[in-house]
Structure 1
Amino acid sequence: MDKFSGQKRAAQFLFPSIDPFESVMLDTGDGHEIYVERCGNPNGKPVIVLHGGPGGGCSPVMRRYFDPSKYHIILFDQRGCGRSKPQASIKNNTTWHLVNDIEMIRENFDVSDWIVFGGSWGATLALLYAQKFPKRVNNLLLRGVFLMTKPELDWFYGGGAGLFWPDLWKKFKDPIPTDEQSDLIKAYNTRLFSGNIRQEMEFGQHWSAWENALASIASNGISA
């Protein structure tokens, strides 16, 4: 889901704004550079923060979930996202690439084990990382769990969730020809990777508006 939806409302309940004490670009060795930042107490309890999406990127609000006097807070933009390079690249960009990037970050900062915190797609990554590297996880903290299972995808993109936001659902599905609406994920995938920049931007906006609506019960589908 979208990285910004709901965060403005949540911000009033979080710790005060902070700036990173370090930001670096880590070379993955297979064509990507990952933006990583560290905040809070470098001697505190380490926690890795995993953003949603896929494709969301980190925002300053995500630094504020943990007490910066007690926690060593590490955030990164996943491959193709945010400040990582190359932007929006899907080459060598699979779920398992992302899981291995988390481990690369842990090793780079010489962290023995850490709290793994993720929301939405970030929760999925957190669980997969914990399965592959169980000895490196001392606590899992998950919110807005979305596991990308077929029933979940069918609900979100097959009309079930559209019952709650009928106007936004109509805006999401109507740009797709009727004969393709039985598989909206496939139809959008074709247009989002068509090579036509104007079309990709148009359908990217439709997709983002729908995901924003799903990210919070109070959302109107518009990213603030």
Structure 2
Amino acid sequence: MAKLFPVPEILQSGLMPVSDIHTIYWETAGNPQGKPVIFVHGGPGGGVSEKTLQFFDPDKYHIIQFDQRGCGKSTPHACVEDNTTWDLVADMERIREHLNIDQWQVFGGSWGSTLSLAYAQTHPDRVTELVVRGVFLFREKEMHWFYQDGCSRIFPDAWQPFYEHIPEDERDNLMAAYQKRLFSDDKDVQLKAAERWSVWEGSVCHLYPDLEHIEDNAEPEFALAFARLENHYFMNKGFFDHENQLLDDCDKIADIPTIIVQGRYDVICPVESAYELNQRLNNSELVIVPDAGHSAFEPTLAEALVDATNKFANNA
């Protein structure tokens, strides 16, 4: 298996106004004459970093990445107004047109897999290949598993601070209870709820807990955008028409070569969704990594992702 590539230099970067409210940060790296690929980060509310450039051979790929509305270097921070799946799909198209790219590979994990699929199903003629990891299809059972009852049974110790932050009489709907606090008029209330929300996810992201990752997730500004945006999208059911939309629209991307990379022990986005997606896409390959959880930076999962991009690197 291949190793992660060295961090390449940033070639271009900028801030692009995409609405009366939002400006998004974008950047490019690698070979400007190479195969275009866009990296779609997770969350919603995560953001990109130099590490997320390392899945692509910088000699072969023209790498594009951006911070989605409300997070990372995009402004305004943690803003949920005018912030939907379809706004982000439109932002990706704006970036493609701004960079004069005709077609590109789309690469995304977790929520990034959701947005990658939504983009590809909206603009299938613009996508040369798909690489998706930690598949999340935005169905009610997936959200219930992680934010109400399911993953909590595997990690009761990590769950307890998240659960106990909410009074007993509100615990039958934890997402709604967190929404009240994350969008409170009191910034201190927001930050305390955001830290509990973000640390819960960070605590179960890896096969073996990564203390540095958990600490990073607790950082107040990151946690606020991460928690508010995730909650906003989850409470609005991803802004999809119905919960099986991404599966039902697989016929639109049936011809796009797709590699699905999934950690066997991913407890945030269990393997069932990746398996179902693979069953709907005849031109897809499912790679289940036997010793990995959710994070793209689990060593064997990262290697599988690099194998996937290397496989597509020389496609015309």
Alignment TM-score, normalising by the size of structure 1: 0.92
After superposing the two structures, state which structure 1 stretch, 127-136 or 158-167, moved more. 158-167
Q: From 98, 118, 135, give the equivalent of 2:88.
A: 98
User: Secondary structure in 1 aligned to 2:204?
Assistant: helix
Q: From 133, 136, 157, give the equivalent of 1:143.
A: 133
* Map of 1:4 onto structure 2: none
* Map of 1:18 onto structure 2: 8
- Alignment check: 8 A CA contact 1:30 1:92 kept: no
For residues 53-110 of structure 1, the C-alpha deviation after alignment (integer angstroms, 9 at most, x for no partner) is 0000111110110000100000000000100111111111111101110111111101
Q: For 1:41-120, what aligned pairs fall within 5 Å after superposition?
A: 41-120=31-110
C-alpha distance 45-220 of structure 1, shift in aligned 2 (>3 A): closer
Moved segments of 4+, more than 4 Å: none
* Map of 1:159 onto structure 2: 149
RMSD of aligned alpha carbons: 1.4
Structure 1: segments with no counterpart, 5+ residues = 1-11
Q: From 146, 157, 168, give the equivalent of 2:158.
A: 168
1:31 aligns with 2:21: yes
Alignment TM-score, normalising by the size of structure 2: 0.65
For residues 103-149 of structure 1, the C-alpha deviation after alignment (integer angstroms, 9 at most, x for no partner) is 11111101101000000000000000011001000101001111221
C-alpha displacement at 1:218, in angstroms? 1.9
Inter-partner Cα distance in structure 1 for 2:155 and 2:164: 14
- Alignment check: 8 A CA contact 1:56 1:81 kept: yes
Inter-partner Cα distance in structure 2 for 1:81 and 1:198: 19
* Map of 1:193 onto structure 2: 183
User: Secondary structure in 1 aligned to 2:173?
Assistant: helix
* Map of 1:214 onto structure 2: 204
For residues 155-183 of structure 1, the C-alpha deviation after alignment (integer angstroms, 9 at most, x for no partner) is 10112101111111111100101111111
For residues 28-49 of structure 1, the C-alpha deviation after alignment (integer angstroms, 9 at most, x for no partner) is 1332111000000001000000
Inter-partner Cα distance in structure 2 for 1:175 and 1:132: 39
Letter in 1 for 2:11: F
C-alpha displacement at 1:210, in angstroms? 0.7
C-alpha displacement at 1:223, in angstroms? 3.7
After superposing the two structures, state which structure 1 stretch, 24-33 or 124-133, moved more. 24-33
Inter-partner Cα distance in structure 2 for 1:148 and 1:19: 35
User: Secondary structure in 2 aligned to 1:147?
Assistant: coil
Inter-partner Cα distance in structure 1 for 2:37 and 2:133: 15
Work out the number of aligned pairs and report it: 213
User: Secondary structure in 1 aligned to 2:19?
Assistant: coil
* Map of 1:6 onto structure 2: none
Inter-partner Cα distance in structure 1 for 2:149 and 2:19: 41
Give % identity. Answer: 48
C-alpha displacement at 1:220, in angstroms? 5.2
Q: From 110, 127, 141, give the equivalent of 2:117.
A: 127
User: Secondary structure in 2 aligned to 1:13?
Assistant: coil
- Alignment check: 8 A CA contact 1:23 1:35 kept: yes
